[in-house]
């Protein structure tokens, strides 16, 4: 049995956020340390995952209650904090709601059903700043005056189903038995082959294929996003915010945006990406129509296989590590994707990062991990 006062269960530990949460818990400056850390994922530990990040790596399918119960019930007398960084992205929002709510419900039921009073005290729930937009600008559901950027935590929910709402309501339903904090990152930038929306790895794969085929590295978005502002979230800042909220009484039962605290234009960021990937900068073609990245990449899986083989990289499949549809979607907004960090700062969290340095740092990490050349 563990004698450590605080015991963390990180669900989704192999994703960009999950790994950064584990590393934040290892920080010598973290409050209430040291921590005993269980890292959970659906699949076995990937070769690039640092063994020192967690004390115990466990696997189970959280959708399956029996499997979840078998794995977690022996740990229910130890785990004090749940860090939720898992996500399922299905074909429909009904599917998203069904699967994501089942996963969280199963984990919490097991951990709160075996010890009285509950050993687990706090849940950090990761959702996203897409809660403020999603279909709002495309289907006209929301009051445009209410949902103009910069987006802030007090904005009301958009009037259509979203799995984020269901997960939030679930953690809130435990009342005084369990405190929570909800974290809404923007575009997460980190290093993992197991994250659904990994824009940096998507761009890296795209750039390497362009370089391999001597093709231009074109921007797939519109003139608006090329010139106007956007924000992003360094996975390290996100991990720090999760841990801060779990160890700070003032942050309990609160919702926080999480971004780097600065903004960038894709025009400027495209130049940084070109420098890092060694491809020529191609200005936006304002008169030629939008470049369809999704269509361009749909048959490039074999090209990526060749790059992986020739460069001796970690074995990956292009379809599993990229999100061309999501990236193209974000680069075609007609509004500035900017989220306020004022509430976080008012509550005492001052984590920040330079977004251009963020991109350079994580490209270096992806190379160190042999995921990209």
Q: How far is 78 from 101, CA to CA, in rounded Å?
A: 24
Do residues 151 and 133 touch, judged by C-beta distance below 8 A?
yes
- CA atoms of 282 and 267, how far apart (whole Å): 10
Tokens of 207: 């750039």
DSSP letter, residue 188: E
Verify cis geometry, omega within 30 degrees of 0, for the bond prior to 56: no
What per-residue string of b and e applies to 327-337 under the rule 16 or more CB within 10 Å gives b? Answer: bbebbebebbb
Catalytic: 164?
A: yes
- 39: which strand partners? 10, 57
For the chain, the C-alpha Rg in angstroms (whole number) is 21
- Other CB atoms within 10 Å distance of the CB of residue 108: 22
Contact 326, 139 (CB under 8 A): no
For residue 55 the two structure tokens come to: 């004390």
Are the C-beta atoms of residues 180 and 252 closer than 8 Å to each other?
A: yes
SS3 label, residue 284: coil
Residue of 38, 132, 164, 180 with catalytic role: 164
Active site residues: 164
């Amino acid at each position: 049995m563990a004698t450590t006062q605080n015991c963390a269960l990180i669900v989704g530990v192999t994703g960009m956020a999950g790994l950064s949460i584990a590393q934040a818990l290892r920080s010598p400056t973290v409050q209430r340390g040291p921590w005993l850390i269980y890292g959970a994922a659906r699949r076995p530990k990937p070769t690039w995952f640092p063994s020192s990040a967690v004390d115990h790596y466990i696997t189970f399918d959280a959708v399956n209650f029996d499997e979840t119960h078998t794995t977690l019930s022996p740990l229910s007398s130890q785990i004090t904090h749940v860090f939720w960084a898992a996500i399922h992205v299905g074909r429909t929002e009904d599917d998203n709601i069904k699967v994501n709510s089942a996963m969280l419900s199963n984990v919490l039921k097991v951990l709160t059903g075996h010890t009285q009073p509950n050993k687990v005290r706090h849940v950090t729930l990761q959702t996203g700043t897409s809660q403020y937009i999603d279909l709002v600008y495309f289907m006209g559901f929301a009051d445009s005056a209410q949902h103009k950027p910069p987006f802030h935590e007090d904005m009301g929910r958009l009037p259509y189903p979203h799995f984020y709402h269901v997960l939030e309501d679930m953690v809130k339903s435990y009342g005084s038995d369990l405190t929570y904090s909800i974290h809404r990152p923007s575009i997460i930038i980190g290093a993992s082959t197991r994250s659904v929306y990994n824009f940096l790895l998507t761009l890296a794969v795209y750039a390497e294929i362009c370089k391999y085929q001597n093709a231009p590295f074109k921007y797939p978005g519109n003139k608006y996003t090329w010139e106007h502002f956007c924000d992003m979230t360094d996975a390290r800042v996100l991990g720090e915010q999760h841990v801060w909220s779990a160890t700070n009484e003032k942050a309990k039962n609160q919702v926080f945006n999480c971004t780097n605290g600065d903004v960038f234009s894709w025009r400027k960021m495209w130049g940084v990406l070109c420098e890092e990937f060694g491809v020529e900068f191609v200005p936006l073609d304002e008169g030629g129509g939008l470049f369809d990245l999704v269509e361009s990449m749909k048959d490039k899986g074999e090209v990526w296989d060749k790059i992986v083989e020739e460069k001796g990289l970690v074995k990956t499949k292009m379809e599993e590590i990229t999100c061309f549809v999501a990236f193209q979607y974000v680069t075609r907004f007609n509004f500035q994707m900017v989220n306020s960090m004022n509430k976080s700062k008012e509550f005492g969290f001052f984590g920040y990062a330079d977004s251009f340095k963020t991109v350079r740092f994580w490209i270096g990490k992806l190379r160190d991990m042999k995921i990209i050349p």
